Structures are given as structure tokens and as C-alpha cells.
Structure 1
Amino acid sequence: MTDEMNPVGHEPWTGYHAGLPAPPPAQPGGGGPHRARGWIALLVAMLVSLAVVGSLLAFSGGPRTASPAIPSTGATLPTSPASGSAGTSPVGAIVDINTSEQVLGADGLRPLGAGTGMVLTADGEILTNNHVVEGASSIQVTIPGHGSSTATVVGVDPTDDVALLQLNGASGLPTIALGDSSTVQAGDPITAIGNAFGRGGQPTATTGTVAAVHRSITARDPSGTSSERLNDVIQIAADVHPGDSGGAVLNAQGQVVGIITAGPSRSSGNGTGFAIPINSAIGIVNEIRAGHGSSEILLGERGFMGVAVQPVDPATAAQLGLSDTAGILVAGVQPGSPAAKVGMTAPAVIRTIDGQAVNTLDELGNAIHSKVPGEQIQVTWVDQQGQHTATVTLASGPAV
């Protein structure tokens, strides 16, 4: 059985994947930030102008009844370190993450989103969700009492929604205290800490309880074209808001037992959230640290082609003389990008990568992300001049 967590009259969170980052503050003189076409690294998840994005949550497995939620306090936590550990602080080690993206036809970078992270090491390893940094050309991390610093992606696991970042030139930072998520049980008291609504400043906290463990959730966009399954997550009865993604779920001892990764579609929260068990996340982090890349764990920078894409619609297919809507529509090409260098222009439809058909945005993304900058792929596309095949040398681009 599946429950849809999208109450009537409430918009889904802006973004993509489970647990979505909060939008940046509204720009003066407008209704909000313009989040236009992203660049395929593949980063179609963030193409708000090309596809409707958001999150509906469905969950299955485990008990159906959640414990009553304790209302969100909205309180700002004290800044003193956790007792018994001079180098750890549940607040000083919780950081704000703000991302920016490159937009087609615009100079410089524009705000993309905001989320939360946790300091793992004194020299600046940061744990967060993959979806918090996905699509980012620039990642800025603000640490309470230490200012802001640029971060780079060490590695990501998009399937499990985990990312490991590294701050530039960091030292002497407070770190989180890790708990053992295997001991978490329904009914345990918890505190969820994050960058609620992307407002920045000292982190906010809400208290609640563990509603269930070993849950499975599916996050998908309203159009149904993209979805992601997260297994063995912790369900919490506490308000979770956009911007809390990547934040901490603490046990009664102030130890981190989970990473906030998903919440309800209503931005005000409804006393329900989901968290990745910290044991699982640290296992992925250790694989990244060891340099063990795989089909799921992507290390460092990934291949970038420089096209903005969307599913093929019948009208465009007919315009290009195609009898079907197979493939992926190229709606824009970044000047000077690998795609531009081989003569690709918009509109066009990418049919195959390395001889394999690509009919979904995820398939195209996987084909590109399996490569690193400098590697080559063979791309076949169709435009108004006919069919073309070329070898594309991938460049480095936004986070995946």
C-alpha cells in the first residue's frame, strides 16, 4: 500500500530528489529566483524552466501509524559544545550550504538552492545529501563562528543521496559526534537540526520522536518522469522543512544517528520526515575516502557535455521530421562547450550515446556521468539538417 504525501492545496518543495533544498530568497522586483536551464552534466533535475519539478513522497514497509509529532519549536540552539567532548558541537558542526548554477544566456552564476551539512573532520570534510549540491557550479559553506568557505565535491552516491564535500583550507573545526543508528528504535526521542527554509544563521531545531525504522520511500516529481527510491530510512515524527536536507537527527545523547533527506510536500511541514541512517552514510563516506568508485559511487568531477535538455514532445519531433518521440530534446547548447565544439545546435534530439539508445533524462545522465573529464563519448543526434554522429570529449562541469 502506498500513501501520497501531497496534501491538496500545498505546492511541492522546489527542487528534485528526496528532501529538496530550499529555494534562495526572492529577488527584488520579482516573484522569486529564476531557475532556468541547467547544463547537462547531466543536471536536468534542476531544469525548472523545462520541466515541472518538486517532490511527492510515497512510503511503504513497516508500521503505518506514526507517533504524534511534537510541534516545531523553531528554536535556535545554544552554541556551547556538547558535554564530554571539547571537539564536538551539535551546533558549531552544523553548516549552511548555498549553491549557485550557471544559466544559459546569463553571465556569471545565479543562486540555485540552500541546504544543510555536517562537519565530519576538523580539516573540513562535510557530509550532506547529494541533492543539496546536485547541479551546483559553486558551493559555499557557512560554519558558525568560522565564516564561509568554498567546497568541492569529493564524491557522491546519487542512489543513496549522500555527498562528501571538502572545504578549502579549513582547520580546527568542531565536528559532529557520531551515534550508532542500528540502535535506533521507534519511540526514541530525537532532535532534528537544519537550515530551515534556507534562512541561514544559527541552525534551528525541532524535537520529536522516531516513528519507525527500516522504511522505504519513493521521491518523484509531479510529472512522474523521474523518481528515486531510498531504502532502510528512519521515519521521524518531527517537522522537517525545505533547507533542512543534509541536516542532523540527534539522539538523546546529542549524537548524530541520521541525515535529514526527505519531508512532506507542504513547505510548512506536517510532523513527518525521513533520515538516512548515519551508519549507512558513513559506510558510503569511507568508500569515497578510499577512492572506491563504482556505478553508484562517483568520485570527483564527472563528465560534462554542455546541453540543456528535456523530454521530446510530439511537435518538436514533427518539426525535425521524426516519426516518434524517442531520444532526448536538446533545448540549448552552451557556447564553447563540448557539444558546441562538435556542431550540436538546438533544437536537436540525442538518439544514442556510445551506440546505446537514450530515452529518459536519467539514461542520458548516467551515460555522461559514467565518464570523467577528458574521456570521450560517441553521440548521435538529429536536427533540421539530418542525422549526425560525433565523438565528444567531455569537460568538467557542475556537481552531479
Structure 2
Amino acid sequence: MNEERDMQSYNNSNEQKNKEKKDKHLGGMLLSGVAGGLVVALFSGGIFLSVLDEDSQTAGTEQVTEETSQDVAQSSDEVIPTTNVVNDEANSLSEAISNVSDAVVGISNIQQVNLWEESSDAAGTGSGVVYKKEGDYAYVVTNNHVVEGAQEVEVVLTNGEHVQAQVLGTDALTDLAVLRISSEQITTVANLGTSENLTVGDTAIAIGNPLGTEFAGSVTRGIISGLDRAVDVDLNSDGMPDWTTEVIQTDAAINPGNSGGALINAKGEVIGINSMKIALEAVEGIGFAIPIDDAKPIIEQLETGEEVQRPFIGISAVDLETVPARHKQETLRLDESVENGIVIADVEVGSPAEVAGLQRYDVVTKINDQEIESMLALKSYLYRQTNIGDEVTVTFYRDGEEQTTTLTLSEQSGI
């Protein structure tokens, strides 16, 4: 009798798989690819960033269906256990989500305060993550663009309570901000994991408040779609990138209001801070999060209430590729073999650059052994590969002659 029940269960399972195979085949025929110019949007702040064109690939399912069919045929003489693995995984994810969901809060950006009423309307809303509780205070990380321009900031807890928040620090380059609130009603603190060991295909879960507090605590599930994606950021809206952000790509739905929320793994650990997505009607499932390992050192600095300090040279410059050919020859006296670099336009008085003897019209081509092709490349190298106090070797051209000098990076804000 037990064997008959097992075989009946196996036959039912096969029938269900065949039905799912047909459904998948039909779904595969409905999928299509798109291609075109992409725009990245930082929600809540209305900032739009340029991204290079990429060709999307049509996701076909017919091959998967055929392989599934072959697997069933090969195992037709075996008794398959009837344990529901899908439900076990779902239960595991539900537990992971419940462990962190109360630590994901709403953020209200209030830019106009009404003097005659107790409350004021929020100019924008986003999300945040409570990552620390210490004594009378709890600390929340969110995106810089969520709180940018705010006269007041409120944190909306999962119980609906609005708590006044103090903005301790913001950093536009990394799009991060840290807030401090009273810890009185904080019951859950998120566990910050690591983004170092992520692989494409890992489970990714986004938690936040899409479209405001009406949908607070919304959860979307997907996978890690890509790692070390580079997104150019135009901070001053001059059409030129000021910074390149390295982000995690995920297909977990990230919508307006999700900015600053948590991207977690299957263990419930925060692996990223949701920040932006592709804002194009024809594109679905391309969202980005700041890797938590990149965010941690910035969070620690912002928590102290001080501005993030980065290595400083003390120059303003333009990219050599933007200089007309006539000036390259007549003013800079460069040989045609020098194609890339930055041209110093000004040297700040008392800066490391002035101390090292750098001058206007010097063409910098290398810092240490790193080739410098643009101001963006200079910033990226300095901020990611060097520290305040480091001594670096600068290779440059003056009047067409290659020279080198050394300088010590200072801690003043700037480039």
C-alpha cells in the first residue's frame, strides 16, 4: 500500500511538471528583448544619470523546458521524494525577512515648514535602515538624495509613528546619509552583512517603501544580476560625469520610495543600500544598490557628524581630449604621442600641488603607475587607492618635456 501511494504521488508530480512545462513554453514565446539609451534615476531626489547603451538579451525558456523533460524521462523508474523544497525555501526567506523588516523605515523630506500647523507636508519620501542602537539613540542609513534640501527630516517607523531625525552627515559622491533618532521605540536593528562574496544568481530581496508610506515595508525578491557595475554620476548637472559609482545590479523591483532601503540576502543580512534603477519604460528589472562593504567606512565617518575626508592635491583641471589641437601644439607644446591626461588650469595656494611645484598648463598623465586619462579617473584613483598622508609620484609634461615630482596628499576637502 505504501508503495502504491508513493507511485501515485510520483505520477501526480509528473503530471504537474508537464503542465508547468507547457506554461513555461508559452511564457517563453511572450518574452522579447529591448535595446536603447538607458537613464538611471535616483528616486526621491529627481536626479538622472547617464549610462552607456547596452543590448538587452531575450530570455528564452524553451531550452530549459526541454532539459526538464529529459530529466523527467531519465528518472521515470525512480521513486521521487515528495518533500516540498519550494515551501522550505519560502519559509526560510520569510524568517530572514521578518528578522530585518522592522529595521527598514520610511524617510520624509520636509522642505516647507508650516508655522501655523503642527505638521508639514513632505516634499519627498524614501526609505532607510536602522543599523545601530546605542543608549538613547538609534542610527539610520539612507541615500543622500532622499534627504537633500530638507529643512526637517522625519523617520516613519513600521508602527506608523513619526520620529524627528537629525541629519548627522551626508556624502553626495557615494549617495549616503546618516540620521540619528531616539531609540525609545526601536525594537529591531538590521545586521550588516558583506558584499564581498556575492555571486551572480544569489537571492536578493529589496525592502522599502515604494510610492510612500501607503506601501510601507514592501518586499520584492530577485537575484543578483551583476556585480561591480559602473554608473556615471553627474552631480552638478553640467552634462559631465563627476563620479563613477560601483553598484550591485539586481532584478528585485526597486521603485520610487525604495531609495535608501535594504537589499538583503537569504540570511536576512543587509548586502546593499538600494539607490537607483533604469528609468525607461521599455526596461524592467534593472535596479542598483550600493555594496554594503563600500558603504560601511562612509557610514562610520558620517556618524561622527564630520564631512567625509578624501585625499587632496589642490588643482583644478580639464581633460586633455577637450583641448583643441592648436592649443596642444602651440600652448602645451605636446608631441602627438601624448593623447591622454589632464591639463592643470589652477593650483591652489599652499596645496600639496603647489608645494610639489606643479603649475598651470602642466599636463598630468600618471599618478604613481596609474595612467590618468581624465579628472574622473584622477578622483577615482585618489579616493579608492590612496589615503590621506600618502606620498605619490606625479608624472607630467611641461613645455613638451616629461617630468616627475612627488607630493604628499593632504586631508583638505577637494581634489
Could you tell me the TM-score, scaled by structure 1's length?
0.52
The alpha-carbon deviation at position 159 of structure 1 amounts to: 0.6
Aligned partner of 2:187 in structure 1 is: 173
Match of 1:19 among 37, 42, 60: 42
Aligned partner of 1:206 in structure 2 is: 220
Deviations 1:277-308 (A, max 9, x none): 011111111122345534569xxxxxxxxxxx
Aligned partner of 2:267 in structure 1 is: 253
**Aligned ranges 1:113-262 → 2 under 5 Å:** 113-122=124-133, 123-145=137-159, 147-168=161-182, 170=184, 172-220=186-234, 225=239, 229-262=243-276
The alpha-carbon deviation at position 173 of structure 1 amounts to: 2.8
Change (3 A) 1:153 1:291: closer
Change (3 A) 1:158 1:267: farther
Match of 1:102 among 101, 112, 125: 112
Change (3 A) 1:243 1:226: farther
The question of whether the paired residues in 1 share the 8 Å contact of 2:302 and 2:308 is answered with: no
Inter-partner Cα distance in structure 2 for 1:296 and 1:222 = 19
Match of 1:5 among 20, 29, 38: 38
The alpha-carbon deviation at position 19 of structure 1 amounts to: 2.1
**Letter of the 1:144 counterpart:** T
The question of whether the paired residues in 2 share the 8 Å contact of 1:18 and 1:219 is answered with: no
Larger radius of gyration: 2
Aligned partner of 1:55 in structure 2 is: 48
Gaps of 5+ in 2: 1-34, 61-89, 312-415
- SS of corresponding position for 1:271: coil
Deviations 1:201-234 (A, max 9, x none): 5411111111111111124599755755342211
Aligned partner of 1:287 in structure 2 is: 301
- SS of corresponding position for 1:181: coil
The question of whether the paired residues in 2 share the 8 Å contact of 1:59 and 1:215 is answered with: no
Higher relative contact order (CA 8 A, sep 6+): 1
Inter-partner Cα distance in structure 1 for 2:50 and 2:182 = 35
The alpha-carbon deviation at position 142 of structure 1 amounts to: 0.9
The alpha-carbon deviation at position 121 of structure 1 amounts to: 1.6
Inter-partner Cα distance in structure 1 for 2:151 and 2:302 = 21
**Letter of the 2:110 counterpart:** S
Change (3 A) 1:192 1:81: closer
The question of whether the paired residues in 1 share the 8 Å contact of 2:230 and 2:244 is answered with: yes
Change (3 A) 1:296 1:98: farther
Deviations 1:339-378 (A, max 9, x none): xxxxxxxxxxxxxxxxxxxxxxxxxxxxxxxxxxxxxxxx
Inter-partner Cα distance in structure 2 for 1:67 and 1:166 = 45
The alpha-carbon deviation at position 111 of structure 1 amounts to: 2.6
Q: CA RMSD in A?
A: 4.0
**Does 2:126 align with 1:112?**
no
The question of whether the paired residues in 2 share the 8 Å contact of 1:241 and 1:268 is answered with: no
Inter-partner Cα distance in structure 1 for 2:43 and 2:142 = 12
Inter-partner Cα distance in structure 1 for 2:227 and 2:43 = 21
Inter-partner Cα distance in structure 2 for 1:115 and 1:58 = 23
The alpha-carbon deviation at position 184 of structure 1 amounts to: 1.0
Aligned partner of 1:344 in structure 2 is: none
The question of whether the paired residues in 2 share the 8 Å contact of 1:89 and 1:177 is answered with: no
Deviations 1:64-84 (A, max 9, x none): 768969xxxxxxx99x9956x
**Letter of the 1:99 counterpart:** N
Inter-partner Cα distance in structure 2 for 1:81 and 1:238 = 16
**Letter of the 1:112 counterpart:** A
The alpha-carbon deviation at position 257 of structure 1 amounts to: 0.2
The alpha-carbon deviation at position 140 of structure 1 amounts to: 1.0
The question of whether the paired residues in 2 share the 8 Å contact of 1:119 and 1:173 is answered with: no
Inter-partner Cα distance in structure 2 for 1:280 and 1:254 = 19
The question of whether the paired residues in 1 share the 8 Å contact of 2:210 and 2:216 is answered with: no
- SS of corresponding position for 1:144: coil
The answer to which structure has the higher helix fraction is: 2
**Aligned ranges 1:260-271 → 2 under 5 Å:** 260-266=274-280, 270-271=284-285
**Letter of the 1:98 counterpart:** S
Could you tell me the TM-score, scaled by structure 2's length?
0.50
Inter-partner Cα distance in structure 2 for 1:287 and 1:222 = 23
